[in-house]
Amino acid sequence: MPYNEQLAERVRKVLGPHKKHIEEKKMMGGLTFMLRDKMCVGVLKDELMCRINPEIHDESIKKKGCRTMDFTKKPMKGFVFVNPSGTTSQKDLEYWIGLAVDFNATAKASKKKK
């Protein structure tokens, strides 16, 4: 199943104020939104992927629809998937994207391939 275009469009709107710093990349079978050359959020199938502060990871996965990202079969602290039950309302979507944008300011960029 390709990524959910409706969810991707909702994400674009929330990220609107950061538009000049956003780059969209198709990866992992989904769509990733890079903010200032760092992975920020993405859409994989019907789920929102967020890169959040690892210090709030354990608290975050207790919220409705949220789970640890395990895309590679290895849990990744600081990366979460939020299923549709956690992104149905605009307020919820803005909450998750806000966490990712806030962390992006201090997150380290991955090393660029030469």
Task: Express each pLDDT in 57-75 by its tens digit.
Answer: 999 999 999 999 987 788 8
Summarize pLDDT for 5-61 with one digit per residue, the tens: 999 999 999 999 999 999 999 987 899 999 999 999 999 999 999 999 999 999 999
Q: Which domains does the chain have, with CATH numbers?
A: 5-104 (3.90.1150.30)
- pLDDT tens-digit map of 82-96: 999 999 999 999 999
Helices 5-14 & 90-104 angle (0-180, nearest 10): 60
Q: Is the pLDDT of residue 114 over 60?
A: no
Predicted TM-score (pTM) of this structure: 0.91
